A and B are shown apart, each in its own frame.
Chain A
Amino acid sequence: MIAERQTRVLNNVQAINEALDLALERDPRVVLFGEDVGTMGGVFRASDGLQQKYGEQRVFDTPLAESGIVGFGIGLAMAGLRPVAEIQFAGFLYPALDQILSHLGRMRHRTRGRFTIPMVVRAPYGGGVKTPEQHADSPEAILAHVPGVKVVIPSSPERAKGLLLAAIEDPDPVFFLEAIKLYRGVKAPVPEGYYTLPLGKARVVREGNAASLFCYGGMVEVCLKAAEVAAREGVELEVVDLETLVPLDTETILASVRKTGRAVVVYEAMRTCGFGAEVAARIAEEALDYLQAPIVRVAGWDAPYPPFSAVEHYYRPDAKRVLEAVRRVLTH
């Protein structure tokens, strides 16, 4: 049992580094690559020390070309390896969209299973750390709209480690988005050794019955903070961490809505066509009769993520905005 294991306090980058280390150790087919991933250990140090430990054949730098990285990885995967690619920032994924949309998620389908892509594409995403332009994007909805790929976004070091190891074991392509805000902002006990956590499962991280907050990645701590504030006024909010956006654990979402009758969906990407719209649509389709109030989204504004850090915090949802939405659904 994982719960009985020894733990160590790690931040998210350390937990991810540990997962990559264990995957390389366990499966000789695993290879790690991307820009600055090798000698330097990644701009966030996620692969720190791994090239030194496993050699340049298994952990290597690539030319600076994202379409090349994803396309090259697809080739490695088809030929029988387990590639784990790092895209330096999720906002730099866009040159690879042809590879992603045309091939990554389709290869199994278009070859009737003859060729498959057991590949993980890791990318830091999201705002809140005063990064330069393009470095704070949250493109998860674009990725979730690609058939045949999975999309996973962890919210804590323990979850990140187990989910990343599960993603690397998975027979299909997985996007693994890591909230930059959480890389060093959160430290928590992490079980030692190799373990996986199931993909495709949402989890209730705080129980309550007044309203449900649905969130993932960097928004989980924001929602937990909002729930704490509400609790002081005697309002018990339920916080559900979706963790895997594709395949989505609709059952856990619906169970929470049936219990609370009120839903707020929180995500930091631009509001229109964001992933929260999908969550809201599923609730409306499957649990309308249980709703006591309209479903409300709290999200980034319909504008590019602001490249001017003095007002950045107005873009990214915070506990205050979440609580305003909670008030709306509670007073409807």
Chain B
Amino acid sequence: METVRYLDDTGIPLRELPFSPEELRQGYRALRRARLFDEKAVLLQRQGRLGVYPPFRGQEAAQVGVALCLKADHDWLLPSYRESAAALTFGMPIHKLILSWRADPAGWGAPPDVNMVQFYIPIATQIPQAAGVAHAQRLLGKNAVAAVFIGDGGTSEGDFHEGLNFAAVFGAPLLVVVQNNGWAISVPTHKQMKVERIAQRAQGYGIPGVVVDGNDLVAVWNVAKEAVERARRGEGPTLIEALTYRIAPHTTSDDPSRYRSEETTREWERRDPIARMKNCLAHLGLWDEEEEARLSEALEAEFAAELALADQAREPKPWEIVEQVYAEMQPDQKAAWVYLRGEA
């Protein structure tokens, strides 16, 4: 299968780009914003100010490119745990994401105007659910779409198959985005599957499958844009395989030196999605170091303000454990709630 690319490995456009100069700048800013979040999150984790965190370094373009095509109060996002970049680009406030990775309930619910389901921790269960969310849009007469993320390892799960088949059979307006980052924790893709390209599987469901350079923002963005348009026209789901690489460990608790060499990692670092996009803008005369400095300053300030917001969040209370189990608290939860109130 052909891999869709718009930029070469250094970021020089290979052909005319399907976005306006302002859009391209917007895309770069979104990438930088995601990268900054990831770097800060890892630092916070090291300081004990964040729980276990799954970094997405190197995968920014694969997530941002999709999220840029969605409207948070209209469309839907169902991310797995590695998709903080998609989440924040989609519209999740940064302080909510920080709280979420602090395992603080205050971070768990997206704001009312952001249709994002809390990060999925089990693998692939989000796929049939996303098919349902997407199909519901049609039943409700809306032209909204859903985008769901999964990794290469997740495609081995039964729910990946069931969800894609349901989406295909019902013609659900859905983007299934597989970030093929080479690793399912320590298991490389070639031990996970016998097919060369995950997107080939789309044929088995009778839907379009696309392979895209996941470190090329322009390519991901355009592939996702076309898939969203197709979905809104009622032409059903698309399987998108974004080829990328997990530069960072699986989580902040992982030690990749146990299972992989750093040579490949360094090779992929040369195709860094952010450096490529920056080069692209510079090549087109759309960016300079002054703008870069202004952007850095703005992003730092935004993050600092959001971190302060997160730090102000009140501590979760013990009795919140038994709240939100049912719409109306039932006798067993009530008894526990009364006990926990007394303890605190």
Contact = CB atoms under 8 A, between A and B. Distances in A.
A152 B89 CA distance: 42
Interface of B: 76, 105-106, 108-110, 112, 117-118, 121-122, 125, 127-137, 139-140, 158-159, 162-163, 165-166, 169, 324-328, 330-332
Interface in A122-149: 147-148
A81 interface: yes
Count chain B CB atoms within 10 A of each CB in A67, A83, A147, A150 and give the residue with the most. Answer: A67
30 contacts: A31-B139, A63-B165, A67-B159, A68-B165, A72-B128, A74-B132, A75-B128, A75-B132, A75-B133, A76-B135, A76-B136, A78-B117, A78-B133, A79-B76, A81-B136, A95-B158, A98-B159, A99-B125, A102-B121, A107-B117, A108-B325, A109-B324, A111-B118, A112-B324, A113-B324, A114-B110, A150-B326, A172-B326, A247-B330, A248-B332
A108 B327 contact: yes
Given A68-B128, A108-B327, A114 B135 contact: no
Nearest to B333: A247
Residue among A105, A108, A110, A248 with the highest chain B CB neighbour number at 10 A: A110
Given A79-B132, A81-B139, A115 B169 contact: no
A72 B133 CA distance: 7
A196 B117 CA distance: 32
Contact of A65 (B125, B140, B165): B165
Contact of A63 (B110, B125, B169): B169
A78 B128 CA distance: 12
Contact of B325 (A75, A111, A147, A200): A147
Most chain B CB atoms below 10 A, which of A98, A111, A114: A114
A100 to B, nearest CB: 10
Nearest to A119: B132
A68 B163 contact: yes
A292 interface: no
Interface in A207-229: none
A145 to B, nearest CB: 13
Given A67-B158, A102-B125, A113 B140 contact: no
Contacts of B132: 71-79, 83
A83 B132 CA distance: 10
A116 interface: yes
Contacts of B166: 62-63, 65, 68, 71-72
A105 B112 CA distance: 21
Contact of B135 (A63, A75, A98): A75
Interface string A144-165: 0001101000000000000000
A238 B134 CA distance: 50
Nearest to B133: A75
A247 B330 CA distance: 7
A250 B331 CA distance: 9
A248 B169 CA distance: 39
A79 B159 contact: no
A6 interface: no
A65 to B, nearest CB: 4
Contacts of A81: 136, 139-140
B73 to A, nearest CB: 13
A221 to B, nearest CB: 28
A68 B327 contact: no
Given A110-B108, A112-B108, A71 B136 contact: no
